[in-house]
Amino acid sequence: MAGHETTLPITLDQMIYHAQSVIRGISHCLVVVDLPFGSYQSNSEVALASAVRIMKETGAHSLKLEGGEEVLDSVRKLFLQVFP
């Protein structure tokens, strides 16, 4: 949590940096990167842009985001980009 009491202050850039480090250090692992708070909640376009950045800049294999009905549009948009 980078010295914070919660994960809320963690930025997209920080997650990308850490995921890049993990990817460079593994050879046979599935790497899942958490979309940080604020990088997908506002709307599905922001969610897609955040997801694309993570996948392109890190080489991660999958993404994780949290929520329910309030992030359903974002989940649909991300899913349709992978499985059109």
Confidence class for position 82, pLDDT limits 50, 70, 90: confident
Q: What is the pLDDT of residue 83?
A: 79
Contact 44, 77 (CB under 8 A): yes
Q: What is the pLDDT of residue 2?
A: 84
Q: How far apart are CA 41 and CA 50, in angstroms?
A: 11
Contact 7, 1 (CB under 8 A): yes
3-state helix, strand, coil in the chain (%, to 5): 50, 5, 40
Mean pLDDT value across the chain: 93
pLDDT tens track for 9-39: 999 999 999 999 999 999 999 999 999 999 9
Q: Which sequence spans correspond to the domains of the chain?
A: 12-82
> Which pTM value belongs to this model?
0.89
pLDDT tens track for 47-56: 999 999 999 9
Using only C-alpha atoms, what is the Rg of the chain?
A: 13
